[in-house]
């Protein structure tokens, strides 16, 4: 039987043990703290496509409502999608979707929160990305060259590493 080695290696990579093997970080002894992360994504599209969505004329229904639900579901399933992520009991997931008519794009912001032993950055990023992908999926019959861009973490709070706020938000 193999001996388990959860000893971190000499680098700052907490997902790599002393043997160089990838593993899920042991958070057993970390104190639970309130943690929150906000991520964003943008979907650039033709003005006609955006107008169709905003005016409720899309043949598939309410694009933003569907994308919001998809983002929420994705946040809850992040641990199933991203290797080495912990399953988390999220206590708040909020997806805000705002059309930007002047720039012919949609801005998506995803907020995830919990009190726990590990952060929620990946959950917020997966939520924003999935909401963007859902908008693309629902509108691809109308426009195939939409661009999903600028998926990034805007802020995070809580935990050992402290707070983070992106520049230029």
Catalytic positions are 137
CB neighbour list of residue 123: distance below 8 Å, 6 or more residues apart: 37, 75, 76, 78, 88, 90, 93, 112
Calculate the dihedral angle through the C-alpha atoms of 52, 55, 61, 63, rounding to the nearest 10 degrees: 70
Residue reference for tokens 């705002």: 98
Look at residues 108, 138, 137, 140 and name the one whose alpha carbon lies nearest to residue 125. Answer: 108
Look at residues 138, 106, 108 and name the one whose alpha carbon lies nearest to residue 124. Answer: 108
Strands 92-100 and 164-165: unpaired
User: What is d(CA 113, CA 30) in angstroms, rounded to the nearest whole number?
Assistant: 17
User: What is d(CA 33, CA 73) in angstroms, rounded to the nearest whole number?
Assistant: 23
């Amino acid at each position: 039987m193999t001996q388990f080695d959860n000893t971190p290696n000499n680098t700052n990579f907490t997902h790599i043990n002393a043997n160089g093997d990838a593993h899920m970080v042991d958070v057993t002894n970390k104190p639970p703290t309130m943690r929150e992360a906000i991520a964003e994504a943008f979907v650039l599209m033709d003005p006609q496509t955006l107008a169709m969505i905003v005016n409720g004329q899309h043949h598939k229904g309410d694009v933003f409502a569907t994308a919001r639900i998809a983002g929420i579901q994705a946040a809850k399933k992040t641990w199933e999608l991203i290797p080495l992520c912990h399953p988390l009991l999220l206590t708040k997931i909020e997806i805000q979707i705002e059309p930007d008519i002047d720039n012919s794009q949609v801005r998506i912001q995803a907020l995830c929160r919990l009190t726990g032993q590990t952060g929620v950055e990946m959950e917020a990023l997966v939520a924003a990305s999935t909401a963007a992908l859902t908008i693309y999926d629902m509108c691809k019959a109308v426009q195939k060259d939409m661009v999903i861009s600028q998926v990034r973490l805007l802020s995070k709070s809580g935990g050992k590493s402290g707070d983070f706020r992106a520049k230029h938000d």
